[in-house]
């Protein structure tokens, strides 16, 4: 069974080189033009497809876990004359709408991940731009805290999507221009309207780059700037990284099994059920966490859930619903949370918490209906309860099920109150209770308590509770009804309802910019037979319908 695989490791990279020199890592983009994910295009000029970004995401992740001593990362190109030409146009022209949208979403998440490394993990990124840096290439550069541009009269930064391709700088470009780099809006308009890009003093004055450097001083200045960035880091100096060992996965026709996560497909009903298993043994202390490394349950679970979500997004577009179930001892999940809370100052525990945060955001941003079923025998406590709060609907079993002596319970831990902010900067509970802040305060007084369905319902923590008489019928009805709605209307509705409250650069990228890009990706001016994406490179001008909408 052929599918897009999100697992890789440096030994298998085709497009990136990772060179580590003490506290400085060099992450070098050197795309193998012949190693595209699909046939039909060559990845010329360091242009990229999803496969290139899967390696980048892997490298960014490994830098955090495997290289605690790395304090600054220099993003650069391994090619002469070009930093990165952006997303590959022939790939975009040939890809389905769904692939384009999910490709952009993943690259956006990877870029947010780079910014998260700098902000929360003390791994600071520097973009050392030599050669043409266009479109997605400049969008990658903008994730760095500092952009250096070599002043060699050839190297430029550019966002030529609108004039050249009739699409947007849609993987964060427009938003980072105005929100992160705060480029004046009319200058941003000029910059996004010219194919050839900008360089020199004007690039500085317009805040497009932070520094221009003569070629004679280039390597020395890059090294000095990387060292200066590294000096601002709070990463440990004497720590040993842990290896992100290969995941154990079993692919079946009707699902996918990991160690702690099982994914079962019901293709006819168009859903995947993800069952998460709680921890069995847990280490006693911090040394034990480090000794377990990638096998430590919270980290292992995060990696498996992350991979499962990505697999479903890209390889199983027909499964429109993700049903979350869990199985295990809630007390042990709370014990795992207690470890994560007690040792949060440790660099590895910090990484695990931030990774869980990113995986949960990935769930929020997944355009599938999310349903959580809280049943007897489940362990939706603390970190796992976040999935209940991430769900569009959460159903909880009230009372006993047949002869089973267990009651379904939900439990909160300190990690539900700050460790896992959503893209909007709020916790899922804060977002949930925007209209009733008292409910949030009340929830915080019940830390660690096993809450039964009636209590969870009263506290507003679930959508609805059903007893043994109604459970099966109600669950079936919900799932059947949901599966009958238009996939697109659900995607758009969920994208709006999931993120109430404040906006951040992140929600603007995933909400506003992405929605506009999705729209543009549907329009004949971009994707029609005479559109710009199809005609790019053919020498024939695209034909546009110039009616304004």
483-502 residues near a second copy, rule: CB under 8 A: 483, 485-498, 500-502
Burial of 89: CB neighbours in 10 Å, binned 0-12, 13-18, 19+? buried
Q: Which is nearer to a second copy, 118 or 183 (CB)?
A: 183
Q: Which of residues 11-50 bind a second copy (CB under 8 A)?
A: none
Residues 178 and 185 sit within 8 Å (Cβ to Cβ): yes
Length of the chain: 549
Shortest Cβ distance from residue 288 to a second copy (Å)? Answer: 38
Shortest Cβ distance from residue 520 to a second copy (Å)? Answer: 5
Q: Which of residues 203-232 bind a second copy (CB under 8 A)?
A: 207
Reference 479, options 341, 350, 319; nearest CA is 319
What 8-state DSSP symbol labels residue 411? B
Q: Which of residues 364-423 bind a second copy (CB under 8 A)?
A: 367-368, 391-394
Q: Which of residues 160-179 bind a second copy (CB under 8 A)?
A: 161-163, 165-168, 174-175, 177-179
Q: Cα 269 to chain center, whole Å?
A: 27
Q: Which of residues 253-272 bind a second copy (CB under 8 A)?
A: 270
Residues 6+ apart with CB under 8 A from 175: 505, 508, 509, 512, 513
Asked if 463 interacts with a second copy (CB under 8 A), we say yes
Among 81, 248, 441, 522, binds a second copy (CB under 8 A): 522
Q: Record the tokens describing residue 462, joined without a space.
A: 């679930």
What 8-state DSSP symbol labels residue 367? S
Shortest Cβ distance from residue 179 to a second copy (Å)? Answer: 6
Applying CB under 8 A, the site for a second copy has a residue count of 93
Q: What CA–CA distance (Å, rounded) separates 235 from 42?
A: 39
Residues 358 and 116 sit within 8 Å (Cβ to Cβ): yes
Among 108, 354, 520, 534, binds a second copy (CB under 8 A): 520
Asked if 433 interacts with a second copy (CB under 8 A), we say yes
56 CB-side CA count, 13 A: 28
Q: Which is nearer to a second copy, 283 or 460 (CB)?
A: 460
Shortest Cβ distance from residue 270 to a second copy (Å)? Answer: 6
As a dihedral over the C-alpha atoms of residue 421, residue 492, residue 367, residue 142, rounded to 10 degrees, the angle is: -60
Q: Which of residues 328-367 bind a second copy (CB under 8 A)?
A: 367
Shortest Cβ distance from residue 242 to a second copy (Å)? Answer: 35
Among 187, 277, 332, 446, binds a second copy (CB under 8 A): 187
- Three-class SS state of 316: coil
Q: Which is nearer to a second copy, 151 or 161 (CB)?
A: 161
Q: Which is nearer to a second copy, 184 or 252 (CB)?
A: 184
Q: Which of residues 102-141 bind a second copy (CB under 8 A)?
A: 102
- Tell me, residue by residue from 467 to 486, as one string, x for binding to a second copy by CB under 8 A and - for no binding: --------------xxx-xx
Shortest Cβ distance from residue 515 to a second copy (Å)? Answer: 3
Q: What CA–CA distance (Å, rounded) separates 426 from 431?
A: 6
- Three-class SS state of 232: coil
Reference 82, options 132, 116, 37; nearest CA is 132
The alpha-helical segments, DSSP class H, found in 453-503 are: 453-458, 471-484, 487-497
Q: Which of residues 62-91 bind a second copy (CB under 8 A)?
A: none
Shortest Cβ distance from residue 245 to a second copy (Å)? Answer: 31
Shortest Cβ distance from residue 1 to a second copy (Å)? Answer: 18
Q: What CA–CA distance (Å, rounded) separates 268 from 275?
A: 19
């Amino acid at each position: 069974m052929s599918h897009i695989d999100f697992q890789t490791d440096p030994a298998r990279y085709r497009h990136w080189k990772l060179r580590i020199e003490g506290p400085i890592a060099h992450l070098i983009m050197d795309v193998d033009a012949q190693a595209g994910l699909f046939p039909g295009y060559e990845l010329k000029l360091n242009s990229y497809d999803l496969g290139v970004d899967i390696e980048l995401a892997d490298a960014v992740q490994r830098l955090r876990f495997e290289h605690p001593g790395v304090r600054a990362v220099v993003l650069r190109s391994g090619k002469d004359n070009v930093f990165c030409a952006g997303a590959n146009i022939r790939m975009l022209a040939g890809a389905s709408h769904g692939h384009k949208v999910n490709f952009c979403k993943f690259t956006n998440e990877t870029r947010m991940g780079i910014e998260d490394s700098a902000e929360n993990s003390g791994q600071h990124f520097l973009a050392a731009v030599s050669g043409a840096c266009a479109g997605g290439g400049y969008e990658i550069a903008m994730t760095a805290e500092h952009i250096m541009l070599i002043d060699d009269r050839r190297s430029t930064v550019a966002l030529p999507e609108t004039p050249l391709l009739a699409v947007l700088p849609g993987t964060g470009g427009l938003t980072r221009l105005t929100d992160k780099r705060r480029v004046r809006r009319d200058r941003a308009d000029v910059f996004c309207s010219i194919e050839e890009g900008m360089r020199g003093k004007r690039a500085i004055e317009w805040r497009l780059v932070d520094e221009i450097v003569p070629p004679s001083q280039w390597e020395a200045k890059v090294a000095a700037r990387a060292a200066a960035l590294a000096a601002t880091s709070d990463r440990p100096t004497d720590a040993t990284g842990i290896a992100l060992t290969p995941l154990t996965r079993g692919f079946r026709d009707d699902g996918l099994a990991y160690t702690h996560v099982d994914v079962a497909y019901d293709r006819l009903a168009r859903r995947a059920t993800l069952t998460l298993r709680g921890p069995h043994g847990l280490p006693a202390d911090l040394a034990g966490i480090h000794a377990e490394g990638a096998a430590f349950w919270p980290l292992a679970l995060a990696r498996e859930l992350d991979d499962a979500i990505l697999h479903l997004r890209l390889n199983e577009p027909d499964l429109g619903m993700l049903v979350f179930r869990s199985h295990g001892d809630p007390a042990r999940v709370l014990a795992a949370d207690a470890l994560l809370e007690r040792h949060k100052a440790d660099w590895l525990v910090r990484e695990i918490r931030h990774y869980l945060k990113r995986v949960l955001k990935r769930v929020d941003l997944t355009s599938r209906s999310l349903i959580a079923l809280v049943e007897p025998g489940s362990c939706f406590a603390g970190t796992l309860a976040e999935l209940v709060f991430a769900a569009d609907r959460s159903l909880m079993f009230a009372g006993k099920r047949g002869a089973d002596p267990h009651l379904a319970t939900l439990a909160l831990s300190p990690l539900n109150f700050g460790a896992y902010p959503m893209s909007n900067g709020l916790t899922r509970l804060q977002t949930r209770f925007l209209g009733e802040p008292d409910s949030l305060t009340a929830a915080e007084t019940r830390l660690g308590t096993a809450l039964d369905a009636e209590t969870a319902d009263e506290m507003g923590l679930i959508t609805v509770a059903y007893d043994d008489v109604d459970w099966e019928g109600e669950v079936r009805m919900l799932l059947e009804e949901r599966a009958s709605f238009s996939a697109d209307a659900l995607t758009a509705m969920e994208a709006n309802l999931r993120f109430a409250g404040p906006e951040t650069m992140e929600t603007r990228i995933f909400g506003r910019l992405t929605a506009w890009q999705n729209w543009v990706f549907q329009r004949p001016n971009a994707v029609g037979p005479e559109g710009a994406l199809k005609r790019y490179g053919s020498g024939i001008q695209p034909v546009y319908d110039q009616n304004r909408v």
